[in-house]
Every structure is written in structure tokens, then in C-alpha cells.
Structure 1
Amino acid sequence: MRSGAKVAIAGGVFVVVAGGVAYGGYTLLSDDGGGSGSAQKRTQGAPARTGPLSADEIKQTSADFLQAWAKGDATAAAALTNNQSVAATALTGYRDDAHITDVVVTPGAPTGPVVPYTVKAQVSFQGKTAPLAYASQLTVVRGQSTFKPLVDWQPSVLHPQLKTGEHLVTGGAQNPEIEAVDYKDRPLTKDKYPSLGAILDGLREKYGAKVNGTAGIELQIQGDNTPARTLITLQKGSPGKLKTTLDADVQAAAETAVKRFGESSVVAVKPSTGEIRAVADNRSDKFPASLQGRVAPGSTMKIVTAAMLIEKGKAAADKPTECPSSVLWQGVTFHNLDNFSLDNKPFSMSFAKSCNTAFIKLVDDVDDDGALGKVAANYFGIGQDWKVGVPSFDGSVPASQGAETAAAYIGQGKVQMSPLDMASVAATAQSGRFRQPVIVPQSLDGRTLAQASPLPSGIDAQLREMMHITATQSYGTATVAMASVGGNKGAKTGSAEKDGQNKSDSWFTGYSDDLAAAALVQSGGHGGDAAGPIVAQVLRAG
């Protein structure tokens, strides 16, 4: 807008006018009487106010800021924030780089220092125009040095999807467009499969040019460390067809399944190929924990631990194992859930009932603090550099000492995994060898995939036997969750305690025929209660 334009609030909406401004009956004078800076001018010579903000201070400061922003006066608006230089750059870019004009702001009723508002505007570039509408909010705080009421500057003040280090840009799109499809050529869109939003953006950034797409004109969020995200398309480009390994049916089931619990994530993998069939998240922070989470996996890690113990001859599926209610190891006492115990039962039952002490009592017999990490890397591919096609965390099982070694055996301590990692662990147990998960075919770019040795003869069969018992026998911790799943099936539950959480994280991983899946529900409790039903729903779709 022209810098000389005046802005009024009619019915709570900032609009361009020729005279003064009124805000809900609270009058602001025109520039010859104070203008957008009048709140500060009126307090000159008066003692600086301290303490909590008054309702008038919140209303006046937010009104002045939104007025200046609506006028396109980046300097005046930035001066009303607690980070003037950053705010000025962002506000100037909103006007000059994003080419956003005709801004109309509708403030809502404040809730304490928080003021919500809606924005309606136009985006115009090279003769192309599109409407823009969204809702956001700001918070008014007292300045630390000036004690003046100021807008607490956050990128989300301009747009709710903006994060630190990101900005709005309108122009030729940064990356060519793609038409993502599943392995059966069925379309995959953000609207139909919301969990794929960040994944499709990442695939577009990495592979758009490889599949011969062309760029359109778009309003995008861009940043140095994040894929460009399209907010509005003013002119479409020509999308290149990108085939993924996803399965639209399994993806739809995953999207539905994670809605059952907050803070949940799930991944499904095809054991015979490593192809990722589904990825879904339902998290308040929008973080893709399914692929990038770094969380202790709890007793799902016992799949890897059991492989290590069997390889070293310290355990076998049919070999009797001690399972006391608790065990003291290097000054730390470890318990089983509800302090249950088993009297000289096969190791398969300790696995199926998730007996912590049966695993920890064998720590001394192994006599190698790094043994678990070696097995995780050598047979399950954990900790290697997985080139999935999008960013992923590929697991970590570092060498440890003291009580942390015992904790690692049951998936706690320093061990960290994502649902992708644990879905791959189950897939490796099912097929007998690690196949690196991928979301686009290796043939697309010839990237080098991580490799691991096949599980030694007999170990894979024992793992499948124990996971099958866990999923089918009355005493198995996964039996209830897997009851509705058919086929040749197996599973393992897990619960991981975390400081500061009242409830443990819920983990579950399992397979049915040639589909494996793993889920995490943070603060979800027992593995079979929350993560288990998610995995079961995904496996049924396969």
C-alpha cells in the first residue's frame, strides 16, 4: 500500500481510509496528533511503567502494530516489536519479496496478552493475482530495557507456518513441480494424505528436476535448512511424475490410525524389499517423528538384544532362563512390570511377557559393552547412513558403561530409535536380512544404500518364533492388539520411561506376511494399549 494512506478499523477491520482511526471505541489520532506512535508519545515525561501489562496497553500496542503492518509501513511496525531489525526485514520482505498487497487485518478479542487476528490480502506477481487468507496471533510483552509494551516478534506473527530462518517469497517456484504417485501409480496429495506434506515437499526439492518437472509461479515459504513449501499457486508449472514406494491403501490406513491417539507416529515397510509403504504422524508440533524421531524404544529393542544373546550362545528360544521380579546390577535395581516373575521358563516366554530381568541378568555373561551396538549395525543396519530419499534418523546404539549397559538391553539408556528404525528391525527379523528402507527407488538417482550381513543361520527363525508367540499366545503382550491381524504374524511391545513424563512412551512393532510396521505414541502408556492398535490397523490394510 501507499505509505501515505490512512488506515481505519471499521467493525474491527483495518481498511484504507482518508481520515483517522478508531479501534473498538478506543480512538487513535491522525499523524498530526500522534498516529501510530501516539501511545509512546503520550507517555513521554511520565515514569516508565513496570509490572503486568494493562488491557489498554495490550489493545493499543496491538492496534498500532497491526495498523502499521496493514499500511505496509515496515519501519513503524518493527519499532513496535522487541526485535526491530529482524522484524523490519521480515515485514519489508512481506511487502517487497512476497508481493502481498491490499492487506486487511481483522483483530479478535485478546486473551490476556495474546491477540488473535485474521488476514486477507492479494498476492500479485507478473500479472498473476491470487487471494491470500489466514489466521494468526501476536503476544504483547513489556520491553526488558524500555519497559514499553511491545509485540513479541516471532516469524509466526506474519504467517502461522513461518519458522525461524524462513521467509515468504513470490516468484518462479524454487523447485519444479512433481506429481507424486504410489507404487501402483495412484496419486498422492497433501490434501488426501496430510502426513505426507513435508515428505512431498522434500521429494519435490530433491527430485523435481530429475523427473523433468517445470516450475510455476508460487507464494512459498523458503528457508536455508527446510524444503520450500507452497502456500499459493498463482500459475501452475508442469509436474514431473515421481513414483514412490508408498501404498495408497496402507497410507490411508496409517493416516486414520494415528488419529486415534495424540503424539503418535507410524511407519510401514515391506520386508522383502525395504520399500516404505506408509508414513503418518499426528503430533501437535508437526515434527515428522515417524522418520526423524530420536526416542528410547523400550522393550521393542529386545528383538535386537535377543539376536545378540542367541548369537553369543547365552540364550535360545527353548532354553530355560531366570526371570526374577527384580535384579540388582551395578547398584541399580531393575524391575519387571508389576514385579512379575517366571520360574525357569523358556527364553521365548520371557521374550513374550517382556521380562526385563531375564535380559539384564545376562549382561555379565556377554562381557562386551559394545556388543549390542555391533549386532544392531552388523545385522539390522542401525546407525548406518540410510539414504531413504528424504531425511531420516537411522538409529543409535552407542557403547555404554555401568547401569546404562543394562538399560540398553531393554531399550533405554542411550539407545535411540525412530518408528522407521523399529519397523525395519521387525522387517529384518521377518525376512532374515536387512534391506535399507527407501521411499523412492534407488534407480531414480543411483544412490548407495546401507548394507548389513544376513542374520546368522537359526537366529532369524528363533526371532520369528518368539515374535509369533508374543503375538498369538495368551501370555504374549502383543496378543490382544494383534488378534485382528491375519497371516503369518509376529510382534513385540515396548514401553519407555522418560524423565518429566507421567506415562511411559508406548511402542509396538510387528509384521504380517510381507508387511512390517512400528508405531510410537509418546506418553501413551503400555505398548499394547496405544501403539499396538495403530500397528494392527496398518497391517490389516496390507
Structure 2
Amino acid sequence: MNGAAKGAIIGGVFLAMVGGAGYGVYALVGDAGDDSGKGPGQGVGGDTSVVAAKGSGPITDKEAAQAAKAFLAAWAAGDERAAADLTNNAQAAQSAVSDFKYKTYVTKTVITPGRQDGATVPYKVEAEITYEGVTKPLAYESQLTVVRGLTSGKPLVDWQASVIHPQLQQDEKLRAGAPASPPVKAVDRNGEELTVEKYPSLRLVLDELRETYGGKAGGKTGAEVWIEPATANAPKRTLLTLVEGEPSTIKTYLDAKAQAAAEKAVAKYPESSVVAVQPSNGHILAVANNRKDGFNAAMQGARAPGSTMKIVTAAMLLDRGKAAADKPAECVKEASWGGRSFHNLGNFELPGASFATSFAKSCNTAFIKQIDDVKDDSALSKEAREVFGIGLDWKTGVKSVDGKVPEATGAEAAAAYIGQGQITMNPLNVASITATARSGRFHQPVLVSPELDGRTVATAQRQMKSSVRQQLVSMMRLTATSGTGANAMRPVGGDKGAKTGSAEVDGAGSPDSWFTGFSDDVAAAAMVEGGGHGGDAAGPIVAQVLNSSASRP
């Protein structure tokens, strides 16, 4: 180590005496193991700062153990230069290790490796952070992988931000001190506190509420350890509170019991998201995600919504007098438009079916065959924007992405009628579409009151015709009782309706599963990436949220 730390194997444990004022007294780095036949704790002997010379071929267990041990010892000792030289990205590693010491105020570090798995070495970090006279522990587990240097041939730590902390993503940084925004206490519509510990899916939402409203609501800043995001408009993520601040209270429109039901529902399906809203006023009742990447796809996603879009398409056709719930709507096995052929799932057909039945059974061809009668490439886009508020500038109180229904011609227009092509939505957008169909009026979804910051919410250009609403709701009721949504909606009580959707994604082995429904004054929509048919994965999520008696405002 470049003079910053001297080490020796003592009782099978590496002891690094630390130089550098104020960083700490000692750091212990346990034995990462090797391929010499010795067991854990027996050591490998020699100077652990020496990494194997240039080699070739796959990294051996011994090379990985020695490289990991040397890097962890240098990091624990606070020798950022030595640690950086043992990685394949010295510049990024040196900056990160230096930040760990100086910008996170770490005064002592103990790093203990776990059981090695080939070139991967897990470890536990036990650090002490001291800021303005307050010292608190920060403990977590992470892992590193050793690779062979492309030019040097030496075994080197494959540098990733997560080496320093498992929650760090690319270009994110670990920081400590007094944050810019005071803490907030977020409560639901009934005054119940909403915490990350109880509602993990709300982490990003709660962080955004703090970033946006913490400074406006009168709280006082304390001291924390946090993850600084890579982009300026993303919220920071608090890891540890060093000094308690004085939080202000932010009231949301969320419903704690609805949120609990949503969290449990998405937990059953990987890569899933759900949103529930109140049709009578647009209040967002629940937001939940179960995703590896931690992304708030429920409110910020943008993927083809599949046949849930038929709610908007049906409204447009009813609005223009091109269809009626009780009138025939030819449902054939296959239909062509713009040089492209479209078919129904399993090539089913419904001879003599009404428009309501074709909607309930999700017949693609019955909708596509209507294009020639409409004779307006902008019809669907207009209906989506003017009646359902899709594409307007929604200001929900936290970051959200509006749906997109661009004008299209030819085959793209046909695809749009059934929720494919260039159309993109997220569960918030689709839940709002269902809420609009249910109430007959667009209420822009809101998570916190606009009075909190004086923001202007979006309003639709025109209200849905009463006759359109009546027919649309009746068709959604049919879908929930005897159509493609019947199985999922069977346990749901109240006045209920639904629409299923399956959206094909290029390169994906299975389509995205979409489902939306309402029960009384609650509307919900869910999406499961790669989940298959809408009723199979997304359907049970929506049903669980709707069926929770506690979720009824």
C-alpha cells in the first residue's frame, strides 16, 4: 500500500494500521479465502497488498482472493490511490473511495469478507460516521468481482458504484451532512403516517415529496447520510439519520389501507406496478411497484397498453356514432389495414357478435374494421386528449409521465386502435382512463392538493357524452362478469367493470400483461412486464386492490 497502511496476517485476520488524520484507528479485513486448501481464517500468508503478476485465461480463486483482500484492505485503510490501482477503473474508484472517507465523514471502517464464490467476493462493511460531534454506525453488505485487466492482464476489481454501497447506481455518490431539504412526515388522507418501512413501494414518492415540499412546509434540517442521484431532477435517497430534523407534515390523498393492499398485490408478481385512483375526484389512492430496478413504472413508465386502450377507442367510436353497444360489430379471425394483417388471440371469431360482446371478449378485428368508417386519422388522438386528458401536462405533485397517443396512418393507425404502435401508457394513465369512463368526466390524477404549491391541474376540453358513458360502463361491466376479465374480477364486489390487455413488445418472449377495472368509486390499473395475458397476472393485482374493503374512500 503506498505507505498509507501497513499490514500483516494476525490470527488469520488482516490488520491495517491507518495513517491519515481523523480517518480512524484500525480496520479489520477478514480472509477472503484462497485455493491453497486452507480453511477460512487460516490466511494465505505474505503481503496482501501484492497482486498476482500479469496472467492470462480465467481468474483463479487464488487470484480473486488476493486481489479482493488487497483492495478491501486499502479501502478500509482510507488509501484511495492504492485501492484505485487495484481496480479496472482507477479514476472512478479513487474518487469513490475518497468520497467515502471525506464526503461521508467516515472515521472508522471494518470490512469483513464472506465466503468467496469463484471470482466474486461478498463482504460486510461496518463504518462509523462522525459529523459535528455526532457518531453513528453504518453497516451494510455488498460484493465485488475480480476480472483480468484488458491490457495489464492483472487480476483487478471490476469497478462498479455498488462496490462502495449496494444501492449506488452509475454516477451516483455517497454523501453526508445537512441536506438541502428538511424532513417531512407524509400522511395519508386519514392522517396515518406513511413510512418506507411500512410501505417500501413509496420510497421514491416520499423522497420526491420531501425534495419538492420539504423546504416549503416549515420543517428544519438535521443531518443525514444519503445517496446523491446522478441527475439533478431525481430525489436523493436517505440511508441514515445522524441528527433528527424537525419534519413538517405533508398530507397526501393516498389511502394507507389501499396502499397496503397494493403492496401485497404486486409482491406476488415480479416487474409489476399498480395505481388506484378515485373516479369522482382524481385522487391517487395507491401507488406500488415490485421491480428490480426500483423504477416508479406505475407513474413514470411508458409502454404500449394493449387492449386496455380499447376503452378510449370504443369511446371514440361511440362518440362519432360509428358503433353502438347493442349493434353488430363484425368479429372475424383476421383483418388487414395499411398492408398489415391483424388477428385475434388464437384466431377466434364471434359470428353475429354485438359491439359490446366484441369489447368484452377483446376482439381486435372488430375494432380495426371500423377505421374505414371513421375516415379521420386524428380521431383517436383527439378523443384521448379532449375527453380523457391524455397528453395534457399533468401535475400530480410528484414526477409522472403522461400517456402518448400520437396521430397515425396506415398500419400504425390500426395498431393504435388496439393499444399498440406508437401509443405509450403507464398504470397511472390507464387507471385515469378507467376513472374517466366510470365518472364520465376527466379529473386529473393528484397525489397532493394543488393548494399546497399553487400548481394548476389539467382539464379536459370536453366532457364525455352521457350516452357514451352509459354504453362504455355497460360494456366494461360485461367484461367483468362474462368477458375476458371475469375470472380476475370474480371476487370483486360492488358495481364493477374491467378491461384486459396484452401488449406485444419487440424482442420479448412474452407480452406485457395489462388490466384495469373499477368497483364503485375506485379505479385501478396494473401492468406486469412479460406477464402474458392481462387477466392472468395484472388482473389479480387489480382485483386485490379493488376488493379490499378498506380501499373504498
The reply to whether TM is greater than 0.5 is yes
> Map of 1:141-290 to 2, 5 A cutoff?
141-223=147-229, 224-225=231-232, 226-290=234-298
Alignment match of 1:535 (pick from 503, 528, 542): 542
Specify the alignment match of 2:524 in structure 1.
517
Q: Secondary structure at the match of 1:437?
A: coil
Q: How far off its partner does 1:4 sit?
A: 4.1
Specify the alignment match of 2:493 in structure 1.
486
Residue 318 (str. 1) matches residue 326 (str. 2): yes
Specify the alignment match of 1:448 in structure 2.
456
**Aligned CA distance change for structure 1 residues 21 and 436 (closer, same or farther; 3 Å):** closer
Asked if 2 retains the 8 angstrom alpha-carbon contact of 1:141 and 1:150, the reply is yes
Spell out, residue by residue over 1:65-111, the C-alpha distance to the aligned partner (whole angstroms, 9 max, x if none): 11100110001101111111121111101000101132111112332
Specify the alignment match of 2:21 in structure 1.
none
One-letter amino acid matched to 1:101: T
* Rounded Cα–Cα distance in structure 1 between residues aligned with 2:487 and 2:444: 30
**Aligned CA distance change for structure 1 residues 261 and 13 (closer, same or farther; 3 Å):** farther
One-letter amino acid matched to 2:266: V
Q: Secondary structure at the match of 1:175?
A: coil
Q: Secondary structure at the match of 1:39?
A: coil
Asked if 2 retains the 8 angstrom alpha-carbon contact of 1:498 and 1:504, the reply is yes
Asked if 2 retains the 8 angstrom alpha-carbon contact of 1:12 and 1:107, the reply is no
Specify the alignment match of 1:460 in structure 2.
469
> Map of 1:13-28 to 2, 5 A cutoff?
14-16=14-16, 23=31, 24=33, 25=42, 27=44
Residue 346 (str. 1) matches residue 357 (str. 2): no
Residue 97 (str. 1) matches residue 103 (str. 2): yes
* Rounded Cα–Cα distance in structure 1 between residues aligned with 2:508 and 2:30: 48
Residue 373 (str. 1) matches residue 381 (str. 2): yes
Spell out, residue by residue over 1:24-49, the C-alpha distance to the aligned partner (whole angstroms, 9 max, x if none): 4554545xxxx62x226xx3xxxx42
Asked if 1 retains the 8 angstrom alpha-carbon contact of 2:9 and 2:43, the reply is no
Residue 299 (str. 1) matches residue 311 (str. 2): no
One-letter amino acid matched to 1:85: Q
One-letter amino acid matched to 1:6: K
One-letter amino acid matched to 1:65: F
Flag structure 1 segments of 5+ consecutive residues without an equivalent: none
Q: How far off its partner does 1:360 sit?
A: 0.8
Specify the alignment match of 1:477 in structure 2.
484
* Rounded Cα–Cα distance in structure 2 between residues aligned with 1:100 and 1:265: 37
Asked if 1 retains the 8 angstrom alpha-carbon contact of 2:9 and 2:45, the reply is no
* Rounded Cα–Cα distance in structure 2 between residues aligned with 1:39 and 1:90: 21
| Alignment length (residue pairs) | 529
Alignment match of 1:503 (pick from 502, 506, 510): 510
| Aligned residues with identical type, % of pairs | 56
Q: How far off its partner does 1:22 sit?
A: 8.4
Which deviates more from structure 2 when the two are superposed, residues 295-304 or residues 390-399? 390-399
* Rounded Cα–Cα distance in structure 1 between residues aligned with 2:30 and 2:520: 68
Q: How far off its partner does 1:294 sit?
A: 1.1
Specify the alignment match of 1:39 in structure 2.
51
**Aligned CA distance change for structure 1 residues 222 and 21 (closer, same or farther; 3 Å):** closer
Asked if 1 retains the 8 angstrom alpha-carbon contact of 2:308 and 2:499, the reply is yes
Asked if 1 retains the 8 angstrom alpha-carbon contact of 2:511 and 2:529, the reply is yes
Q: Secondary structure at the match of 1:321?
A: coil
Residue 6 (str. 1) matches residue 12 (str. 2): no
Specify the alignment match of 1:437 in structure 2.
445
Asked if 2 retains the 8 angstrom alpha-carbon contact of 1:140 and 1:152, the reply is yes
Q: Secondary structure at the match of 2:459?
A: coil
Q: How far off its partner does 1:113 sit?
A: 2.3
Specify the alignment match of 1:420 in structure 2.
428
Tell me the TM-score normalised to structure 2 length: 0.92
Specify the alignment match of 2:39 in structure 1.
none
* Rounded Cα–Cα distance in structure 2 between residues aligned with 1:423 and 1:454: 18
Tell me the TM-score normalised to structure 1 length: 0.94
Spell out, residue by residue over 1:209-265, the C-alpha distance to the aligned partner (whole angstroms, 9 max, x if none): 121111111111112432111111111000101000000110011111111211111
Q: How far off its partner does 1:206 sit?
A: 0.4
* Rounded Cα–Cα distance in structure 2 between residues aligned with 1:536 and 1:10: 60
Q: How far off its partner does 1:139 sit?
A: 1.6
Q: Secondary structure at the match of 1:323?
A: coil
One-letter amino acid matched to 1:436: Q
Spell out, residue by residue over 1:150-194, the C-alpha distance to the aligned partner (whole angstroms, 9 max, x if none): 111111110011112221111112310101100111110000011
One-letter amino acid matched to 1:465: S
One-letter amino acid matched to 2:165: H
* Rounded Cα–Cα distance in structure 1 between residues aligned with 2:282 and 2:537: 25
* Rounded Cα–Cα distance in structure 2 between residues aligned with 1:113 and 1:88: 22
> Map of 1:364-403 to 2, 5 A cutoff?
364-403=372-411
Q: How far off its partner does 1:401 sit?
A: 2.9
One-letter amino acid matched to 1:39: V
One-letter amino acid matched to 2:510: K
Q: How far off its partner does 1:513 sit?
A: 1.0
**Aligned CA distance change for structure 1 residues 365 and 310 (closer, same or farther; 3 Å):** same
Asked if 2 retains the 8 angstrom alpha-carbon contact of 1:8 and 1:21, the reply is no
Asked if 2 retains the 8 angstrom alpha-carbon contact of 1:13 and 1:104, the reply is no
One-letter amino acid matched to 1:16: A
Which deviates more from structure 2 when the two are superposed, residues 346-355 or residues 528-537? 528-537
Q: Secondary structure at the match of 1:183?
A: coil
Q: How far off its partner does 1:311 sit?
A: 1.9
Alignment match of 1:125 (pick from 101, 109, 131): 131
**Aligned CA distance change for structure 1 residues 448 and 184 (closer, same or farther; 3 Å):** same
* Rounded Cα–Cα distance in structure 1 between residues aligned with 2:521 and 2:30: 66
Asked if 1 retains the 8 angstrom alpha-carbon contact of 2:343 and 2:364, the reply is yes
**Aligned CA distance change for structure 1 residues 11 and 169 (closer, same or farther; 3 Å):** farther
Q: Secondary structure at the match of 1:343?
A: coil
* Rounded Cα–Cα distance in structure 2 between residues aligned with 1:178 and 1:7: 46
One-letter amino acid matched to 1:255: E
* Rounded Cα–Cα distance in structure 2 between residues aligned with 1:264 and 1:447: 30
* Rounded Cα–Cα distance in structure 2 between residues aligned with 1:218 and 1:13: 32
Asked if 2 retains the 8 angstrom alpha-carbon contact of 1:352 and 1:477, the reply is yes
Q: How far off its partner does 1:499 sit?
A: 2.3
Spell out, residue by residue over 1:381-434, the C-alpha distance to the aligned partner (whole angstroms, 9 max, x if none): 112211111111111112223222111111111111100000000000001111
Specify the alignment match of 2:141 in structure 1.
135
* Rounded Cα–Cα distance in structure 2 between residues aligned with 1:416 and 1:375: 15
Root-mean-square deviation over aligned CA pairs: 2.1
Flag structure 2 segments of 5+ consecutive residues without an equivalent: 19-25, 34-41
Q: How far off its partner does 1:21 sit?
A: 8.9
Specify the alignment match of 2:118 in structure 1.
112
Q: How far off its partner does 1:503 sit?
A: 2.0
* Rounded Cα–Cα distance in structure 1 between residues aligned with 2:281 and 2:370: 34
Which deviates more from structure 2 when the two are superposed, residues 412-421 or residues 52-61? 52-61
Which deviates more from structure 2 when the two are superposed, residues 337-346 or residues 178-187? 337-346
* Rounded Cα–Cα distance in structure 1 between residues aligned with 2:258 and 2:394: 23
* Rounded Cα–Cα distance in structure 2 between residues aligned with 1:21 and 1:464: 65
* Rounded Cα–Cα distance in structure 2 between residues aligned with 1:59 and 1:268: 50
Specify the alignment match of 2:22 in structure 1.
none
